[in-house]
Structure 1
Amino acid sequence: MSLSSLIAEYLDFAVPTYIERPSATLDVPAPARNNVIHTITGVRRCGKTYAMYQLMNRLIEAGVPRNRILHFSFDDDRIMPFSDHTLADLLDEYYRMVPEALDGCYLLFDEIQEAPYWTNFVRRVAEQHNVTIVLTGSSSKLLSSDIPTNFRGRSLSREMWPLSFREYCLFQNIDTTDIGGEYPSSVRRPLQTAFAEYLNVGGFPAVQHMGALDRMRLLQGYADEIVTKDVLERFETTSLRVATRFSRSALRSTGLKFSVNAQVKALRGMRVPISGNKLYDLLDDFEDAHLLFKVGDFTLSIKDNPRSSSKVYAVDPGLSLAVAPANHMAIGQRLETAVFVELKRRYGGNRSNTIATYSAANCPEVDFVVGDEATGEPYQLIQVAAQTGLDATTVTDFAEQNLSAKFRSEIGNLDAAMRNAGLSTGTLISLEEEGLVTVPAGTIEVVPAWKWCLRR
Structure 2
Amino acid sequence: MLTQKYVARDEYLNFLKRHQDKHVIKVVSGVRRSGKSTLFLLFREYLKENGVSSNQIITINFENMANEPLREPHRLYEYIESRLVADKMNYIFLDEIQHVHEFEKVVDSLFLKDNVDLYLTGSNAYFLSGEIATLLTGRYVQINMLPLSFKEFVSWHRQNQLFTDNTEMFNKYLQSSFPYTLFTEDDQERAEYLRGIYSTIVLTDIVTRLKVRDVPVLERVIRTLFSDIGSAISINKIANTLQSHHFPADRKTIERYLTGILQSLLMYEAKPYDIHGREILRANSKYYVVDPGLRQLLLPDYQEDYGHIIENVVFLELKRRYPNVYVGQTSKLEVDFVALNNKNEARYFQVALMTLDEHVLARELRPLKKINDSYPKYLLTMDTLNKDANYDGIQKKNILDWLLEEN
Candidates 342, 350, 354, aligned match of 1:383:
350
CA distance in 2, matches of 1:160, 1:294: 16
Corresponding letter in the other structure for 2:218: A
Q: Secondary structure at the match of 1:44?
A: coil
The corresponding residue for 1:316 is: 291
Go from structure 1 to structure 2 and tell me whether the alpha carbon gap of 1:383 and 1:209 turns closer, same or farther (over 3 Å shift): same
Q: Secondary structure at the match of 1:207?
A: helix
The corresponding residue for 1:357 is: 328
The corresponding residue for 2:335 is: 366
Candidates 74, 77, 85, aligned match of 1:85:
74
**Matched-pair contact (CA < 8 Å) for 2:390–2:396:** no
Query: 1:317 Cα deviation (Å)?
Result: 2.1
* Cα RMSD after superposing both structures: 3.0
Corresponding letter in the other structure for 1:39: V
Candidates 129, 147, 152, aligned match of 2:132:
147
The corresponding residue for 1:27 is: 17
CA distance in 2, matches of 1:254, 1:379: 23
Candidates 209, 215, 220, aligned match of 2:195:
220
The corresponding residue for 2:367 is: 413
Corresponding letter in the other structure for 2:42: Q
Query: 1:354 Cα deviation (Å)?
Result: 4.0
Query: 1:338 Cα deviation (Å)?
Result: 0.7
The corresponding residue for 2:31 is: 43
Candidates 81, 87, 94, aligned match of 2:83:
94
Which has the greater radius of gyration?
A: 1
CA distance in 2, matches of 1:279, 1:77: 33
The corresponding residue for 2:95 is: 110
CA distance in 1, matches of 2:5, 2:86: 26
Question: What are the Cα deviations for residues 344-365 of structure 1, in whole angstroms up to 9, with x where unaligned?
Answer: 00002xxxx443233423xx32
Query: 1:123 Cα deviation (Å)?
Result: 0.8
CA distance in 1, matches of 2:233, 2:83: 50
Segments of structure 1 that go 5 or more residues without pairing to the other structure are: 1-13, 177-186, 390-402
Go from structure 1 to structure 2 and tell me whether the alpha carbon gap of 1:437 and 1:238 turns closer, same or farther (over 3 Å shift): farther
TM-score by length of 1: 0.79
Question: What are the Cα deviations for residues 209-252 of structure 1, in whole angstroms up to 9, with x where unaligned?
Answer: 43223223322332232122222333336632222221122123
Query: 1:452 Cα deviation (Å)?
Result: 0.4
Q: Secondary structure at the match of 1:60?
A: helix
Query: 1:16 Cα deviation (Å)?
Result: 10
Query: 1:40 Cα deviation (Å)?
Result: 0.5
Q: Secondary structure at the match of 1:72?
A: strand
Corresponding letter in the other structure for 2:351: V
CA distance in 1, matches of 2:187, 2:110: 46
Query: 1:117 Cα deviation (Å)?
Result: 1.8
**Matched-pair contact (CA < 8 Å) for 1:254–1:337:** yes
Q: Does 1:431 align with 2:382?
A: yes
**Matched-pair contact (CA < 8 Å) for 2:381–2:398:** yes
The corresponding residue for 1:204 is: 178
The corresponding residue for 2:56 is: 68
CA distance in 2, matches of 1:195, 1:54: 26
Segments of structure 2 that go 5 or more residues without pairing to the other structure are: none
CA distance in 2, matches of 1:454, 1:430: 14
**Matched-pair contact (CA < 8 Å) for 1:108–1:135:** yes
**Matched-pair contact (CA < 8 Å) for 2:296–2:302:** no
Q: Does 1:264 align with 2:239?
A: yes
Superposed, 1:99-248 pairs within 5 Å as 100-101=85-86, 103-128=88-113, 130-173=115-158, 190-198=165-173, 200-210=174-184, 211-236=186-211, 239-248=214-223
Corresponding letter in the other structure for 2:178: F
Go from structure 1 to structure 2 and tell me whether the alpha carbon gap of 1:36 and 1:125 turns closer, same or farther (over 3 Å shift): same
The corresponding residue for 1:447 is: 397
**Matched-pair contact (CA < 8 Å) for 2:217–2:248:** no
Go from structure 1 to structure 2 and tell me whether the alpha carbon gap of 1:132 and 1:406 turns closer, same or farther (over 3 Å shift): same
CA distance in 1, matches of 2:20, 2:10: 21
Query: 1:39 Cα deviation (Å)?
Result: 0.7
Corresponding letter in the other structure for 2:79: L
**Matched-pair contact (CA < 8 Å) for 1:436–1:443:** no
Question: What are the Cα deviations for residues 49-104 of structure 1, in whole angstroms up to 9, with x where unaligned?
Answer: 01101110110000101111111111111233544532123214424xxxx35643
Q: Secondary structure at the match of 1:80?
A: helix
**Matched-pair contact (CA < 8 Å) for 2:177–2:293:** yes
CA distance in 1, matches of 2:127, 2:106: 15
TM-score by length of 2: 0.87
Q: How many residues align?
A: 398
Candidates 312, 315, 324, aligned match of 1:337:
312
Go from structure 1 to structure 2 and tell me whether the alpha carbon gap of 1:144 and 1:296 turns closer, same or farther (over 3 Å shift): closer
CA distance in 2, matches of 1:225, 1:302: 39
CA distance in 2, matches of 1:305, 1:78: 47
CA distance in 2, matches of 1:313, 1:68: 41
The corresponding residue for 1:181 is: none
CA distance in 1, matches of 2:4, 2:310: 33
